[in-house]
Structure 1
Amino acid sequence: MTNKITGVNGPITGWLDGHTYLIGLMAYPIRHSMSPTMHNNAFAKLGLNYTYLCFEVGNDKLKGAVDAIRTLDMRGSNVSMPNKKEVIQYLDKLSPAAKMCDAVNTIVNDHGVLTGYTTDGIGFVQSLKDEGFDIKGKIMTLTGAGGAATPIAVQSALDGAKEIRMFNIRDKNWPQAEKTVKTIRENTDCKVSLTELSDQEAFKQSIGESDIYCDATSIGMKPFEDKTLVSDPSWFHQDMVVFDTVYSPRTTKLMRVAQEAGVKHVYDGIGMMIDQGAASFKLWTGKEMPTDYIREIIFSDDND
Structure 2
Amino acid sequence: MIDGKTQLYGLLAHPAHHSRSPRMHNLSFDHWNINARYLAFDVAPGDLAAAIGGMRSLGIAGVNLSMPFKQTVIPLLDDLTPRAQRINAVNTIKNDQGRLIGDSTDGAGLFQSLQSREFDLRGQRVVILGAGGAGKAIIAAALDYQLARVDVFKRQTPSYASVANWVADLAPTGATPLQLHPYEDVTTMHDLVAQADLVINATSVGMTTAGLPVPTDVLAVLHPGQVVYDVIYHPLETAFLARAREAGCTTHNGLGMLIGQGALAFQFWTGKPMPVAAVEADLLASLAPTSK
The TM-score normalised by the length of structure 1 is: 0.91
Give the structure 2 partner of residue 190 of structure 1: 176
- Could you say what secondary structure the match of 1:150 adopts? helix
Give the Å deviation of 1:231. 3.1
- Could you say what secondary structure the match of 1:272 adopts? helix
- Could you say what secondary structure the match of 1:141 adopts? strand
Give the structure 2 partner of residue 42 of structure 1: 28
Are residues 1:270 and 2:265 paired? Answer: no
Give the structure 2 partner of residue 284 of structure 1: 269
Q: Is the 8 A contact 2:16 2:41 kept in 1?
A: yes
The one-letter code matched in structure 1 to 2:270 is: T
Percent of aligned positions that are identical:
35
1:5-62: per-residue Cα shift (whole Å, max 9, x none)? Answer: xxxxxxxxxx211111111111111211110011111111211111111111243111
- 1:46 and 1:89, CA in 2 relative to 1: closer, same or farther beyond 3 A? same
Query: Which residue of 42, 46, 60 maps to 1:60?
Result: 46
Query: Which residue of 105, 114, 126 maps to 1:119?
Result: 105
Q: Is the 8 A contact 1:95 1:116 kept in 2?
A: yes
Q: Is the 8 A contact 2:108 2:260 kept in 1?
A: yes
- Could you say what secondary structure the match of 1:51 adopts? strand
Q: Is the 8 A contact 1:59 1:82 kept in 2?
A: yes
Give the structure 1 partner of residue 120 of structure 2: 134
- Could you say what secondary structure the match of 2:69 adopts? coil
Q: Please give the alpha-carbon distance, in whole angstroms, between the structure 2 residues aligned to 1:133 and 1:58.
A: 40
Query: Which residue of 282, 285, 292 maps to 1:300?
Result: 285
Q: Please give the alpha-carbon distance, in whole angstroms, between the structure 2 residues aligned to 1:211 and 1:225.
A: 24
Q: Please give the alpha-carbon distance, in whole angstroms, between the structure 1 residues aligned to 2:47 and 2:129.
A: 32
Query: Which residue of 1, 11, 26 maps to 1:25?
Result: 11
Unaligned runs of 5+ in 1: 1-14
Q: Please give the alpha-carbon distance, in whole angstroms, between the structure 2 residues aligned to 1:55 and 1:87.
A: 15
Q: Please give the alpha-carbon distance, in whole angstroms, between the structure 1 residues aligned to 2:278 and 2:103.
A: 25
Task: Pick which of 170-179 and 110-119 moved more.
Answer: 170-179
Give the Å deviation of 1:225. 3.4
Q: Please give the alpha-carbon distance, in whole angstroms, between the structure 1 residues aligned to 2:156 and 2:37.
A: 42
Query: Which residue of 233, 245, 252 maps to 1:259?
Result: 245
Moved >6 Å (runs of 4+): none
Are residues 1:107 and 2:68 paired? Answer: no
Are residues 1:89 and 2:46 paired? Answer: no
Give the Å deviation of 1:184. 2.5
- 1:190 and 1:96, CA in 2 relative to 1: closer, same or farther beyond 3 A? same
Query: Which residue of 232, 235, 245 maps to 2:221?
Result: 235
- Alignment length, in residue pairs? 288
- Could you say what secondary structure the match of 1:226 adopts? coil
Give the Å deviation of 1:262. 1.4
Give the Å deviation of 1:185. 1.6
Task: Pick which of 150-159 and 203-212 moved more.
Answer: 150-159
Q: Please give the alpha-carbon distance, in whole angstroms, between the structure 2 residues aligned to 1:183 and 1:225.
A: 36
The one-letter code matched in structure 1 to 2:210 is: E
Give the Å deviation of 1:301. 7.2
Query: Which residue of 160, 182, 193 maps to 1:207?
Result: 193
- 1:32 and 1:98, CA in 2 relative to 1: closer, same or farther beyond 3 A? same
Give the Å deviation of 1:302. 9.9
Give the Å deviation of 1:138. 1.2
1:48-93: per-residue Cα shift (whole Å, max 9, x none)? Answer: 1111111112431111111111100011100110110111010010
Give the structure 1 partner of residue 204 of structure 2: 218
1:125-161: per-residue Cα shift (whole Å, max 9, x none)? Answer: 1111122112222111101111111111111112222
The one-letter code matched in structure 2 to 1:95 is: T
